Structure 1
């Protein structure tokens, strides 16, 4: 059961926007930029979540995840590959002998419109197939109706179904209407057992935004102060350029600090971000941009 939701801080949208704007104006020197790009690359959950996904496409994405760093020195791999539950076993086999995790969406992604028993079965199936991480969606209809204990209990139930797999809880912030609602949903997810809180499915607009992410980071900070437990953060959807990724990392560092500046506690949910980072790293090494055609789209 979740309590004390009435005592949470209230957010002024204009004030949050001004704070975020300052993060975006931070100057990053060339050497720091290169290290930041490498860090961002190591934090990516390389994702394919389309109805037209096929085993071949998933294998191709896994190959890209394992080899995109080749040809450049001291380049990390991405953190994970994220797929639907039916493709977890294929991804697990394709990523064998790598340190790349397999993440899977579950709980009737992206709508969340299904029974709890079906959501539990969905989660257990993904875990049984080999998923290291589960990305679940909350029931936004129940949340917006004020059924907070329902949302809490559902997250706690899915957390139990995850077993050893880490649980990322997707708030779908584009449907939560206000920053105060985002803070409330973050609080419920963390208290219910989330290892990560995540902005979006990437299927609803707006997806990840810096103001929303700031509020979620602020919630994580307060939770850490109260409990000593580190909760991870995953902005997802719409983060496609190196410039934006670096702005997120500046905000992460200034709000939460060094403990969170790694793939264990921060991820980007993205499909095209890796290519843009690689293009920027090639430019920093050679002085020239390579065409996007040199990098696979999937």
Structure 2
């Protein structure tokens, strides 16, 4: 996946965006039933979800040792005896996501595994810091080796319709990221309407976001299927208009294997199978992996393992 170069801001088109909320909600409600995934197919889709997870720790008491344990789980996310029984090898998560000060411990723990390190930045989760300080945090993350930067937008720009200000802010962040890929967190639970979600999605992509991401995981409402549907259709429109391909990351609230299946069905239905790979689809999660491993254990052994047997870190 190449970096999204972005485009000039097309503010005139933003005012034309209209969302039929009842239609979006009806479509989202039918998505989980659109594909019947049983036995072998379900297990395969669950393993695919694992390779698309950004395994995350964003706790106030994070330490290098905690991060090292998380990285060990990222390198071996499913018990080796389960993978051996399925004839699978080399499975890892899509990335490990940490705070900027934990980048160096994560890089050491991951070694030459090839697993990217993602770092939140720009005053995560609220983003209510002066822009120069937010950009300094991006530069700090890049200097310490982050491969991907999860930035947060200023929600007030969206709520006030200040699209040029939002674009300029995101463009500056894109430049600060350099060769690192940028995920733009829209904090959709704070944006009040699906029209605002769609407009913010387009501005983020025009400014050069490589992924657009639903949430920080700290809002009262995080990833939902209706919001995700609107964002995926914005990605499709952007690709059709520019030829540039942008990824999608739902985060916050995805906790069960069923959630992992539902969001993959959304990607397949709305964007196609190309988006069922970690280059274009990530799931921001921590507890999700434990439930997926429990379902994989049931598939292999016919029994559900106790949740404490699938510790994630």
**TM-score band, normalised by shorter chain:** over 0.9
CA deviation vs aligned residue, 1:62-114 (integer Å, no higher than 9, x gap)? 11111223222215210101000000011011001112110000000001011
Aligned to 1:216, which of 231, 234, 238? Answer: 231
Q: Does 1:125 align with 2:125?
A: no
Where does residue 46 of structure 1 map in the other structure?
Answer: 55
Where does residue 25 of structure 2 map in the other structure?
Answer: 17
Q: Does structure 2 conserve the Cα–Cα contact (< 8 Å) formed by 1:252 and 1:261?
A: yes
Q: Does structure 1 conserve the Cα–Cα contact (< 8 Å) formed by 2:250 and 2:282?
A: yes
Aligned to 2:45, which of 18, 32, 36? Answer: 36
Q: Which one is further off, 35-44 or 3-12?
A: 3-12
1:87-236 paired onto structure 2 within 5 Å = 87-236=102-251
Matched residues in 2 for 1:205 and 1:120: separation? Answer: 26
1:240-279 paired onto structure 2 within 5 Å = 240-279=255-294
Over the aligned positions, Cα root-mean-square deviation in angstroms equals 1.2
Q: Does 1:72 align with 2:82?
A: yes
Matched residues in 2 for 1:123 and 1:210: separation? Answer: 30
Matched residues in 2 for 1:222 and 1:163: separation? Answer: 26
CA deviation vs aligned residue, 1:162-206 (integer Å, no higher than 9, x gap)? 111000000000000000100000000000000000000000021
Shift of 1:279: 0.8
Matched residues in 2 for 1:228 and 1:56: separation? Answer: 43
Bigger relative contact order (CA 8 A; separation at least 6): 2
Matched residues in 1 for 2:274 and 2:310: separation? Answer: 32
Q: Does structure 2 conserve the Cα–Cα contact (< 8 Å) formed by 1:5 and 1:184?
A: no
Where structure 1 has 5 or more consecutive residues not aligned to the other structure, the ranges are: none
Matched residues in 1 for 2:18 and 2:136: separation? Answer: 37
Matched residues in 1 for 2:276 and 2:48: separation? Answer: 8
Q: Does structure 1 conserve the Cα–Cα contact (< 8 Å) formed by 2:289 and 2:312?
A: no
Q: Does structure 1 conserve the Cα–Cα contact (< 8 Å) formed by 2:73 and 2:312?
A: no
Pick closer, same or farther for the CA change 1:270–1:8 going to 2, 3 Å: farther
Q: Which one is further off, 138-147 or 287-296?
A: 138-147
Matched residues in 1 for 2:282 and 2:123: separation? Answer: 22
Shift of 1:245: 1.1
Q: Indicate the SS of the match to 2:201.
A: helix
Matched residues in 1 for 2:236 and 2:312: separation? Answer: 36
Q: Does structure 1 conserve the Cα–Cα contact (< 8 Å) formed by 2:174 and 2:182?
A: yes
Where structure 2 has 5 or more consecutive residues not aligned to the other structure, the ranges are: 1-8
Q: Does structure 2 conserve the Cα–Cα contact (< 8 Å) formed by 1:170 and 1:200?
A: yes
Shift of 1:53: 1.2
Matched residues in 2 for 1:227 and 1:146: separation? Answer: 23
Q: Does structure 1 conserve the Cα–Cα contact (< 8 Å) formed by 2:157 and 2:163?
A: yes
TM-score, scaled to structure 1: 0.97
Alignment coverage as a number of residue pairs: 298
